Structure 1
């Protein structure tokens, strides 16, 4: 069975764990599914795990000649650090929307750049793109319903990143085994 998490390197695993936990905390907080927990409650995780730890993992990835994960982790570390640092700033909804849409472009670049990666990696960055796009549009439109949908998409992206990293550590499969092409076709081993 295929393994899917960037060759399972320690840096890649740590980076995907940090991204997964941050997205889960932020996404669940944004949905409002847990009474009394909001996205602002995830700011310390966003700052330290998503911001600093993810950025450092990116630097280690660059040091290990892993340009894709280096770019992904440092870029997303900068996003989370900036997001958490500006949490108390008084900015307009349009500024928040623009910020999220600009970072959605990074997530789109990562999703497209992950073509050689496995499905979980591509899915994580693709879902992150959709989440940031929805959250950015929700900020422009002042739509709490759309923001909740964006939060759910972020939570699913976080679950995918977390599972991929955990699967790498536990040596679990991350791809479904292939099927024969059709009736009467057998696979030889």
Structure 2
């Protein structure tokens, strides 16, 4: 994506599809952890995570690699592997520490994507940063058996999901993705 001017001008169709899949999955996963909707838990996001977040995102990553887009390929294939693994193993009986370790390892993947997106759009960087914080909080919640911390992590995940969804929507609709710059005030000079 370009430098926050308009997500629609240079975003590839794979980028749009991938961020839409990531956004919907992360939003469902996050809202499930918040338990803000009565009767909806993170376990209810398993099917969406497996097929949309897992398979669709992974395939979008492979196609991005085919197009020589290493960042997008790495991001989408890696996150597709995360969602697919989480989705198919949701019913598995594992210890809280094993679940926490899984989330912590993928928090590190999200941190890597945040750092690697430094030259990209603010929406993309912020989406991955929110995902990192969410997975880190959810991992700590697993290690410490803290429902309250899991809910906070869920809100970070939901926020990241909304940003990814907005980014994909903005790319399709040619909406702007950055706030207008503040003009230099009196006595302030802009370096060029």
Q: TM-score, normalized by length of structure 2? A: 0.94
Correspondence for 1:8: 11
Correspondence for 1:172: 175
Aligned residues: 187
Post-superposition offset of 1:65: 1.2
Equivalent-residue separation in structure 1 for 2:148 and 2:44 (angstroms) = 19
* Gap change, CA 1:6 and 1:157, over 3 Å in 2: farther
Q: Does 1:147 align with 2:150?
A: yes
User: Is the 2:7–2:174 contact (alpha carbons within 8 Å) kept by the matching residues of 1?
Assistant: no
Correspondence for 1:132: 135
Q: Does 1:56 align with 2:69?
A: no
Q: TM-score, normalized by length of structure 1? A: 0.95
Per-residue Cα deviation, 1:120-175 (whole angstroms, up to 9, x for no partner)? 00000000000000000000000000000000000000000000010000000001
User: Is the 2:5–2:178 contact (alpha carbons within 8 Å) kept by the matching residues of 1?
Assistant: yes
Q: Does 1:107 align with 2:110?
A: yes
Which of 113, 119, 140 does residue 122 from structure 2 map onto? 119
Equivalent-residue separation in structure 2 for 1:183 and 1:176 (angstroms) = 21
Correspondence for 2:83: 80
Equivalent-residue separation in structure 1 for 2:9 and 2:93 (angstroms) = 39
Correspondence for 1:161: 164
